[in-house]
């Protein structure tokens, strides 16, 4: 163990000056119109070879991780007016997908979503521990409380639990998962054929959790993770989400369209960590970046214009309505964005305020907002040459707005090819990003320490035996 910790510290020092890069994989691309683009893969939702190509391209670009988001209901945004135009209505279950990709990659991290509201801690702990074993220590769990109320009807519930209740459950859920990942010491399994001793019972630890939401005995029936435990990722921007991130997360994905908002979010979340007994360096903040890059600025703008021309207004308005929690579909599409009503749903308030502020700042009407939102969906957007793109990334990285970025390619595979071939070399030329992988685990890529078993201060009701 001491030698592994020392190696981890050396690796953390080597990677400290480098930004982190994640690849967000929506099947055809992040833009809602990506599937209509002539360079896209229209059947990407069911095309495993397509995902293999994406993972291997991202690995060629030395990305830290790829990230597959998930939802627990079919995407039917906009109802009858637009849902038949959506390619996001179906996709492959992400943990199954990443297990397949683990076999055709060697370095890149593999992160996907699992819900704390509609799953059980033992199942989640087992799934991600298994993925970590299969990949040699490259797994990460994106913890979500599930924001889509439609999911409730797929899990025998009439209504989605309130947000405060979901986050209380999530906090206990994380403690149970982390405790289960601590079920075995790294050297617990002797596998001594001569003596017939398979494992050392003193190195097995029974959780014995009894709390408000869960009663879980343990131990987990998967050995300790090759990287100590899978990396915990989170993306909540609400007050509850920020606090949960400060207490538990090691990576946070965020949607912050301006550098000022990103700096405020960065300072807020990291500023909460000391009170939770955590060092701010234990958390990497990676806002989303929607990049359209060309060898010239004119080429980049031409690419952007083509994609925007493929966005149907009904789709854009339906997406905008969903994310701001207001039904905008009956309004004049050339009218200004409406004022937010009193008592607006807290679940959608943050994204609604971001969109409202953007509309006022840029003087955008509903049509323009709908098209813009259907592209980047509230994330920072950059269009230009490799130098212009990296100028923006460098400014965010060096001024306390980001530790790296979750890259949102507009169209796949074309936009990822552009990023790897044009943007990554410029990042490397400026010394902002690795030229090769220094380690083999996701923790190693991110410069995170390997956790020591028993690091948790066990809450009341847990017995570490």
Return the closest-CA partner of residue 181 out of 227, 214, 143. 227
Tokens matching residue 220: 């987990």
- Paired residues of 231 in beta bridges: 140
Q: Computed over its alpha carbons, how large is the radius of gyration of the chain?
A: 22
At 9, phi and psi to the nearest 5? -65, -40
DSSP 12: H
At 126, phi and psi to the nearest 5? -65, -40
Q: Which CA distances in Å does 21 have to 32, 66, 424, 428?
A: 22, 9, 10, 12
- What whole-number distance in Å separates Cα of residue 199 and Cα of residue 190? 5
Q: Give 129's Cβ-side CA count (13 Å radius).
A: 23
DSSP 75: -
Q: Are 140 and 230 in contact (CB under 8 A)?
A: yes
- What whole-number distance in Å separates Cα of residue 343 and Cα of residue 20? 38
pLDDT of the residue at 81: 60
Domains (range + CATH), the chain: 2-303+379-446 (3.20.20.30)
Return the closest-CA partner of residue 393 out of 296, 291, 260, 283. 291
Burial of 104 (0-12, 13-18, 19+ CB in 10 A): middle
pLDDT of the residue at 14: 45
Q: Give 463's Cβ-side CA count (13 Å radius).
A: 8
Tens digit of each residue's pLDDT, the chain (465 residues): 334 444 444 444 445 679 999 999 989 998 888 889 999 888 988 999 999 999 999 999 999 999 998 887 776 655 566 566 666 677 899 999 999 999 999 999 999 999 999 999 999 999 999 999 999 999 999 999 998 888 888 899 989 999 999 999 999 999 999 999 999 999 999 999 999 999 999 999 999 999 999 999 999 999 999 999 999 999 988 899 999 999 999 999 999 989 999 999 999 999 999 999 999 999 999 999 999 999 999 999 999 999 988 988 778 787 788 777 777 877 888 888 887 776 555 555 666 777 778 788 888 888 888 887 777 777 899 999 999 999 999 999 999 999 999 999 999 999 999 999 999 999 999 999 999 999 999 999 999 988 876 544 333 333 343
282-314 in b/e burial notation, b at 16+ Cβ within 10 A?
ebbbbbbbbbbbbeeeeebeebbeebbebbbeb
């Amino acid at each position: 163990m001491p030698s592994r910790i020392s190696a981890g510290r050396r690796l953390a020092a080597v990677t400290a000056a480098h930004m982190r890069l994640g690849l967000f994989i929506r099947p055809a691309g992040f833009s809602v119109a990506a599937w209509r683009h002539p360079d896209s893969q229209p059947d990407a939702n069911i095309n495993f070879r397509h995902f293999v190509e994406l993972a291997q391209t991202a690995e060629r670009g030395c990305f830290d991780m790829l990230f597959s988001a998930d939802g627990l209901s079919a995407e039917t945004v906009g109802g009858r007016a637009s849902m038949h135009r959506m390619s996001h209505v179906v996709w492959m279950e992400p943990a199954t997908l990443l297990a397949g990709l683990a076999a055709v990659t060697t370095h890149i991290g593999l992160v996907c979503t699992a819900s704390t509201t509609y799953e059980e801690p033992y199942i989640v702990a087992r799934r991600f521990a298994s993925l970590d074993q299969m990949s040699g220590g490259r797994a990460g769990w994106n913890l979500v409380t599930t924001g889509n109320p439609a999911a409730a009807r797929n899990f025998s519930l009439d209504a989605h639990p309130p947000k405060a209740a979901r986050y209380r459950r999530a906090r206990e859920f994380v403690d149970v998962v982390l405790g289960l990942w601590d079920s075995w010491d790294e050297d617990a399994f002797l596998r001594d054929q001569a003596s017939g001793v398979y494992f050392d019972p003193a190195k097995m630890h029974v959780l014995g959790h009894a709390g408000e939401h869960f009663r879980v005995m343990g131990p987990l029936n998967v050995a300790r993770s090759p990287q100590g435990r899978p990396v915990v990722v989170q993306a909540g921007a609400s007050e509850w989400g920020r606090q949960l991130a400060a207490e538990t997360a090691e990576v946070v994905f965020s949607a912050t369209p301006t550098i000022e908002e990103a700096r405020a979010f960065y300072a807020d979340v990291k500023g909460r960590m000391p009170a939770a007994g955590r060092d701010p360096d234990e958390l990497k903040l990676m806002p989303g970046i929607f990049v359209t890059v060309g060898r010239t600025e004119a080429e980049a703008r031409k690419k952007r214009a083509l994609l925007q021309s493929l966005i149907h207004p009904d789709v854009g308005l339906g997406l905008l309505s969903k994310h701001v929690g207001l039904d905008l579909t009956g309004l004049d599409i050339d009218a200004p964005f409406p004022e937010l009503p009193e008592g607006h749903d807290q679940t959608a308030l943050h994204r609604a305020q971001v969109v409202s502020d953007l509309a006022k700042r840029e003087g955008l009407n509903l049509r323009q907002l709908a098209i813009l939102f259907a592209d980047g969906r509230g994330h920072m957007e950059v269009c230009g040459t490799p130098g212009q793109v990296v100028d923006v990334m460098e400014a965010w990285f060096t001024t306390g707005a980001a530790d790296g970025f979750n890259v949102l390619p507009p169209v796949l595979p074309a936009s990822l090819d552009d990023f790897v071939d044009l943007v990554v070399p410029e990042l490397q030329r400026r010394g902002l990003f690795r030229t090769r992988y220094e380690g083999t685990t996701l923790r190693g890529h991110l410069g995170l320490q390997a956790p020591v078993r028993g690091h948790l201060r066990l809450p009341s009701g847990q017995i570490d035996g």
